[in-house]
Amino acid sequence: MKISRATITLIDVPLLEPFVVSYATYDSMPSIILALETDDGTIGYGESVPDGHITGETPGGVVEALKTELIPAILGLDPRDITAVHQQLNRALKGCGAAKAAVDIACWDLAGKAAGRPIYALLGGRRPEQPTIAKVLSILPPGVLAEQAAQARSQGYRHLKMKLGGDDGLDIERVRAVRSAINDDLAIRVDANQGWSDPVTARAMIRALEPYRIDWVEQPILADDIDGFKLLRQDTSTCLMADESVVHAGDLARFVQDRSVDMVNLKLMKSGGITPCHRLATQAELGGLKVQIGSMLETSVASAAGFHLALSHPNIVSTELSGPMKFTKEPGNLQYVLPEVHITEGPGLGIDVDRDVLAELTVSECEISR
């Protein structure tokens, strides 16, 4: 079983409503769908959703990296030999986590299809329950958020994730309005996406949030300010989570050594796919930190990959892979029954890719073969 052909498809996936975070507003989400074909005709799918603020990559850059460097480096390899695949990827290019994630996910999909087993089985098995997701709320006016929170409660969600870090000074009002609307019926988590910048500002914001019973505060300060988390840890007992600050094993080692956070948010797009994130989850477990698997608003392809990883690792306690719920249409068919997602026993990713929808969303496409 050797990789013989790759099709790289850049698509633009329409959102139900704009997605607003501290650094950008998205009306649609660009994504790269990678189809790897082997010499026996098996096709595995992967996905890359880059973000210049997080992964340092752009959609066009990912396409170019895959086309000129990464795919040529793995043609002829057995996709089941994932260690060799990553060695070749890393020899070809440094970094490029989102681009490498597409290759990694496609290889795991191929390995699962070759074995007739779901990816989680190849990773060691799964917990029996289906994973649950949180309702993610954009940075919107407090009154709108209160309405959305009440609606989320009626839809069966158990957790809310609020994007904060807006420059209008209304972050506390947003949380106050949401907590008032839902009482204690749902848990609230907040994510500033580096939007509070420095530890002094973040400390004041975290203190102001304490009356509203927040589960945790995610990435309140700039990604490079790892020492800043130590300052925050000294002044609050609120659960702290690092996201953009954790990409590689060295980043995670600093947090384990400093004991400055309680949790880390791992993303396949940041770190290069299932394989490196599985290793990071184990490293976090050994260091006493719990793990969440986060999302870059991916389609069913990468979302399914994240769920397989989360189900297989006992130290992953939370999943925020709600991308397919936010699109008007997308090429996959991951099934959400709120607040759960149904991960099947199908081989590989366990999803189908609708080629007609993929064609409808296509911006560009290219093929590479041996």
| Residue in this structure with the two tokens 């530890």, named with its chain if needed | 199
> Which listed residue (47, 109, 191, 244) is catalytic?
191
Q: For the stretch 183-198, what's the b/e string if a residue is b when 16 or more beta carbons lie within 10 angstroms of its beta carbon?
A: eeebbbbbbbbbbbbe
Residue 243 bears catalytic tag: yes
Distances (CA, A) of 275 to 41, 122, 152, 327: 24, 11, 33, 27
Residue 51 bears catalytic tag: no
CB atoms within 10 A of CB 143: 12
> Which listed residue (57, 218, 244, 330) is catalytic?
218
| Rounded Cα gap, residues 6 and 257, in angstroms | 41
> Which listed residue (113, 163, 270, 326) is catalytic?
163
Phi first, then psi: give them for residue 190, nearest 5 degrees: -125, 145
> Which listed residue (109, 171, 243, 320) is catalytic?
243
CB 231 within 8 A of CB 199: yes
Residue 218 bears catalytic tag: yes
Residue 161 bears catalytic tag: no
> Residue 14 in 3-state DSSP?
strand
Helix (H) or strand (E) holding 129: none
Residue 113 bears catalytic tag: no
Count Cα atoms within 13 angstroms, Cβ side, for 329: 13
> Which listed residue (135, 161, 267, 290) is catalytic?
267
| Rounded Cα gap, residues 265 and 356, in angstroms | 34
Amino acid at 265: N
Beta strands in the chain (DSSP E): 3-21, 24-38, 43-48, 135-137, 159-163, 187-191, 214-218, 240-242, 263-266, 290-293, 316-319, 335-337, 340-342, 362-369
Would you state the torsion angle of the CA atoms of residues 111, 335, 267, 67, taken in this order, to the nearest 10 degrees?
60
- Residues noted as catalytic: 163, 191, 218, 243, 267
